[in-house]
Structure 1
Amino acid sequence: DMFGYRRIYKCGLVVFLLSSLFCALSDSLQMLTLARIAQGFGGAALMSVNTALIRLIYPQRHLGRGMGINSFIVAVSSAAGPTIAAAILSISSWKWLFLINVPLGIIALILAIRFLPANIAHDTKPRFDLPSAVMNALTFGLLITALSGFAQGQSLTLIGAELLVLVVVGFFFVRRQLSLPVPLLPIDLLRIPLFSLSIGTSICSFCAQMLAMVSLPFYLQTVLGRSEVETGLLLTPWPLATMVMAPLAGYLIERLHAGLLGALGMVIMAAGLFALVMLPASPSDLNIIWPMILCGAGFGLFQSPNNHTIITSAPRERSGGASGMLGTARLLGQSTGAALVALMLNQFGDSGTHLSLLAAAILATLAAVVSSLRITQPRVQA
């Protein structure tokens, strides 16, 4: 919001491109770790303005379709990424997993310079608040560290200390954000009922998705005895169904309430997850495939309308903050989901995969309930 979405996107691309090159050139674990941290910074810059750029590019009447196209591309990339990675590793070393980002990044940078529009200039720019940035990193860093530590069975004393520091830092962080006219983390936007409900739905849905996606490979291989190749093929219907449903959802946004679409999508996803929970001891491939299709179709029907609601329920000049909040909700849900799977596996062994799928189904149902509460809210205009 301060420096323009296009500028942040281009800077993020450059950082991601260069850090990918450094990853490939790394000759030690320490160097690779540092390069991956830099790569994360670049990726964060890209993802934080992605939805805001879509709002900037598409006219109001076609914004839903833009969200649908974006969700479609994400689904295609998610489906193609592991396959491309496997193909690269079959003919070359791991370094090419990072080197392939260099030509792709250069092409993306050229396209961004050529086609991305600039923000409308504002008369005043808020100053960047460094203390907020530090407290933001500490708050979410401590949260993820504590969740991971609990899942891995670390010392409760250490986890308790981390949570104590988290509460103290988080308190002052929230207090500071509420005192700023344009906060780093747009907590003030949570006062908008439609925005806060959509953020809550997003956290629940991504937590459910990650619970399922992390636990399913273990379930298919360890419990059902499927091979790695069979597991990959059985997981593929999920992103493929999302690919098909996402553009349709973007089209439907212009005609139906996003809360209704989101609730329906989460109900379908929950139905697919409950079907996976109730699989027989020796299911056929078809028994596994059709619940996967339901999960992917439901998530595809949910994601575009929910992203659309989050970005449009915020004032246009706060699109960057809303887009960043969307990314925060997604990562918070995914981190929590992954930590819960690790906890289930550590505590219950192979049975943890089944419990993880059950937890995912319950969370998807909760997301459907929260999404349905948005139906009472008036539809927003982009």
Structure 2
Amino acid sequence: MDSPDSAAEPPVDDLQSVFHLHETRRDGDRVLFYGQSLVPERMLVREVWEPFREAGYEVQVSTTRNNREDVVVARPVTNGIDGVPWKNLGLFLATVVSTLLVGALTWYYIPLSDVLANPLLVLRAWPFTAAVLGVLATHELGHYALGRYHGVDVSLPYVIPFIFPFGTLGAVIRMRGQMPDRKTLFDIGVAGPLAGLAATIVVTAVGLTLPPIEVPPWALQGSGQVIVFNNPPLLNLLAGLLGEPTEYADPTVAVNPVIIGGWVGMFFTVLNLLPVGQLDGGHVLRAMLGESQERVAALVPAGLFGLAAYLHYGLGYALNESVGLWAFWGLLSAVIAFKGPADPIDDSPLDTPRVLVGIATFALGALCFLLVPIEVMAV
């Protein structure tokens, strides 16, 4: 793909076949065409997208403030990294620090006083950090690789630092370009979950075979309650195949924290595969079903709110267990669904092999789902 500096002149003749052009302006590296569209907006974009793309431009349509003119905005597209991605690197390093700190304090039971006296003690948690960031980065790099392969303008991953319990809120990429067709939308959408699941399986298997860690006596003295992260079916399946335990009767022994990296990968896979809006599941299902995906997306928030209500009123779980979690995602999925899915330029149906891969991806995601991911138990 041409860079902005080498982009050809926009193909005005192709635009004028479907657009009555009044004026052309330049705004930095963008070219703005003012006039009236002779066809509906989606048809306009579909007609001019390919010639503009070949010339090195992405096109979008908007209107002026008084709604009297249509504006076609042509922006040069680059398929490379422009300079050093300082923001990506800064967030990554911050997340390395946050996951090391949270891992040391929470999962390796290093006292805060010891960490304050010797901050280098957090480096003991490097396997936890490598597991969590490895899973999340592999997921996002799956999207990135397929985005670059298809010539879609995507950013490098942004990893988000946080606090308890994992030291991160996950990772995201930005897709600035439009999707040319359902095939591209599907490939980019499905690549993240499949790559992330592959990394999750490897991390989980490694964690299961590593020796457990000792829980110091001070960690067992507290309020009499602990937060338990229940096992997804996939984790139990892998443990069974390897013949390794996922818990111990002795409270002074805990599983290796690397397994938590696998748990994180499974949990984020479930959330990402919710079939709404711009989530991975939304992309995949939009590519598989076309515009019918929006009818499915409308049911997701209601389903999550219903799940939260069932856990609270039917099974008696407290809000701080998994009730609040599903209620929060019900609200968030409603917002995401309202913003709508990606709309490919060419909405031709997806081929059968990809549809089968999509079904298999959702089936694998179902192996990562559990009704009560987190609960509070007495000790």
Q: Which has the higher contact order (CA 8 A, sep 6+)?
A: 1
Which has the larger share of strand?
Answer: 2
**Same topology, TM > 0.5:** no
What TM-score do you get using the length of structure 1 for normalisation? Answer: 0.30
Which has the larger share of helix?
Answer: 1
